[in-house]
Amino acid sequence: MNNCREYLILQISFVLAVCIFYLAACNKKSVPTPQPIPPAISTFQITNQTINSSVFNTTKTLYGINANSVIKISFSDKVDRTSILAAITYSNINNSTNVGYNLSYQNNDSTIVISPSTNLNYLSQYIFSISTLLKSATGNFLNNRVDLSFYTSIDSTDKFLQISDSALLDLVQKQTFKYFWDFGHPVCGMALERSNGDNNVVTSGGSGFGIMAMIVAVNRGFITRANAVTRLNTIVNFLTTKCQRWHGAFSHWINGTTGATVAFGNNNGADIVETSYLLQGLLCARQYFNISTDANEKLLRDSINSIWNTVEWNWFTQNGAQKSIYWQYNPSYTATSDIWSIPVTGWNEALITYVLAASSTTHAITKDVYDIGWANNGSIKNGSTYYGITLPLGQAFGGPLFFAHYSFLGINPNGLSDAYANYQTQNMAHSQINYNYCVANPKSYFGYSNSCWGLTASDISGSYTASSPTNDQGYIAPTAAISSMPYTPTQSLNALRFFYYKLGDKIWGNYGFVDAFSLNSLWYAPSFLAIDQGPQIVMIENYRSGLIWNLFMSCPEIKTGMKYLGFSSPNL
């Protein structure tokens, strides 16, 4: 009996064990797998960040920050002082150095104040950062970092001793002239295209500007008359005996040793506009070096007349097939559109080409070529208003300022008019619009002001461009404002003083002002260009004495040619 009871108990126990096993297995399937507990989100964060009491964010670069700037960062909790030094980075990007700084704490260690131990450099870029390595006193890591990029302000102190405006103009003309004297090619005497380029490539147009600069240099006593005549005879002898020419015209770039053409982009032949700039200078030299008893001066005048009379201006209308002068003649091509490229149609820098072409006593164009080709049957006119100023001719906002310079180194615009415009009004309006645009500074470039303005063709970082209000990339070219001195004397002199006294440590060099600069990116051109240095010397002189205007307008051929085209002026 007892055995049966024990057996029954064993059976029941077995069944219960099996049930318990299966129940446990079923329950195990329904219980979710335990997940790791995520770490708590740090509550240690930035509550306020300022530089010189102005709030900043991490997405916007700041400009014009003073040299003893104070950065203040406030947090939601006390800072662990032991973590602060490893979290802060403060460096000068321009010279790759770390900034020494003083660190203090406020608000029970929940605010840190950073000030440079010595003043920061002017016109430099700085980066200040606090990383998420920073911890709070309770052990939480910072959940959002600080990143501040800023540029320091312009140093307002004078870099050179103040001198009179007259003395400053003398200095700028004399120093800038050194470009043409020092960078005259040792064989041909012509001007190198640029100071940092191929030392065997000279420029025809830039040499024309340099010839006018030599006249100024003689007149101002920078060089002797005899030395200038020797250099000029070297140039004209090279032009007449060695230079490759096409129907009397020269190429844009020339090998200074052999006289062979150096290709300018796709142009491998004649450039009639660059030839015009060269002739503009040569005719001024012919008028200035006029001592009849001096054999060298007579030789110079005879050589210039030979060059002048040989240029077949009318042939550059595709040998009479078109009512427009064509800019380039490319003899190595076969298609007409490639042989003759770019009709010279206004408004741009090439009015001088039509004036010379109409003034030639041997190969002149007819007036309809001027009216149809240059003036485009009157569509050269603009008439719109920009910044309250009406612009008679050309593209919107006037285009780059060299339009008002290159042709008007010799052509005197004062009182000059024809059927299409008054050219004094045109150039003054163009310069004032350029100035007003820079003052308005619609793109908010750092450095633009009523003392720092001027957009024209120049080097820019990594390239070359024709800057203008419609092509503004943040680069100021000193030649733009300085060469506009006859049109905007007050604004131009203000710019000249600013460039020299305030930025002189950055942009003033052995050959005058560098080609261009950008305070917005702290870039300063390593270059000087003939076509930008020359107009500064000449237009300053035209502002001061009218010398080059008077010489060019005294040419009897020019008087006849401009009257034929319909120009009127007290100077004709």
Write the CB contacts of 324 (distance below 8 Å, at least 6 apart in sequence): 317, 343, 344, 345, 369, 372, 373, 374
- Say if 46-152 and 165-564 have the same CATH topology: no
Which position has the token pair 């053409």? 261
pLDDT exceeds cutoff 90 at 13:
no
Query: How far, in Å, CA of 572 to CA of 562, rounded?
Result: 8
Cα separation of 155 and 139, whole Å? 44
State the burial class of residue 343 (Cβ atoms within 10 Å of its Cβ: 0-12, 13-18, 19+): middle
Q: What percent of the chain has pLDDT over 70?
A: 93
pLDDT digit string, tens, across residues 340-394: 999 999 899 999 999 999 999 999 999 999 999 999 999 999 999 999 999 999 9
Per-residue confidence band for 4, with pLDDT thresholds at 50, 70 and 90:
very low
Tell me the sheet residues that pair with 381: 393
**pLDDT tens digits, one per residue of 169-225:** 999 999 999 999 999 999 999 999 999 999 999 999 999 999 999 999 999 999 999
Considering the chain, what is the average pLDDT of its residues? 93
What are the start-end ranges of the E strands in 62-153? 62-65, 71-75, 88-92, 97-98, 101-106, 111-116, 125-130, 146-152
Burial classification of residue 244, based on how many CB atoms lie within 10 Å of its CB (0-12 exposed, 13-18 middle, 19 or more buried): middle
Greater confidence (26 vs 388) lies with 388
Cβ atoms of residues 394 and 430 within 8 Å: yes
- d(CA 8, CA 15) in angstroms, rounded, equals 11
pLDDT at 16: 43
Beta carbons within 10 angstroms of residue 86's beta carbon: 11
pLDDT at 14 over 90: no
pLDDT given for residue 43 in this prediction: 84
* Fold that domain 46-152 belongs to in CATH: Immunoglobulin-like (2.60.40)
Supply angle C-alpha 53, 59, 64, rounded to 5: 50
- How far apart are alpha carbons 234 and 202 in whole angstroms? 14
User: Rounded to a whole number, what is the distance in angstroms from the first to the last CA of the chain?
Assistant: 151
- 35: pLDDT confidence band, cut at 50, 70 and 90? low
Q: Which fold has domain 165-564?
A: Glycosyltransferase (1.50.10)
Tell me the pLDDT tens digit for each residue of 316-329: 999 999 999 999 99
Question: Would you state the structure tokens that stand for residue 253, as one six-digit string?
Answer: 């770039």
Q: Tell how strand 340-343 and strand 326-329 pair up.
A: antiparallel
Of 356, 167, 188, the closest CA to residue 262 belongs to: 188
Neighbours of 431 (CB within 10 A): 27
Residues 56 and 4: their CA atoms lie apart, in Å, by: 91
Answer for the pair 115, 102: CB distance below 8 angstroms, yes or no. Answer: yes
Cα–Cα distances in Å, from 93 out to 68, 125, 151, 287? 17, 5, 10, 54
Dmax over CA atoms of the chain, in Å, equals 162
Give the pLDDT of residue 34. Answer: 55
Nearest to 499 by CA among 64, 175, 126, 69: 175
Ramachandran sector of residue 220 (left: φ over 0; alpha: ψ -120 to 50; beta: rest)? alpha
**Nearest-CA neighbor of 115 among 127, 131, 98, 100?**
100
> Which amino acid, residue 138?
T
Rounded distance, CA 553 to CA 562, Å?
Answer: 10
Q: What are phi and psi of 427, to 5 degrees?
A: -70, -35
Cα separation, 219 vs 228, in Å, equals 11
Exposed, middle or buried by CB within 10 Å (0-12, 13-18, 19+), for 195? buried
**Cβ pair 529, 206 in contact under 8 A:** yes
Tell me the mean pLDDT in the region 99-122: 97
Q: Is 311 helix (H, G, I), strand (E, B) or coil?
A: coil
> What is the pLDDT averaged over residues 299-310?
98
The first and second tokens of residue 6, run together, are 């024990």
Tens of pLDDT along 391-446? 999 999 999 999 999 999 999 999 999 999 999 999 999 999 999 999 999 999 99
Q: Which tokens go with 217? A: 């240099």
Q: Where are the domains of the chain?
A: 46-152, 165-564
pLDDT number for residue 59:
85
Q: Encode pLDDT of 459-488 as tens digits.
A: 999 999 999 999 999 999 999 999 999 999
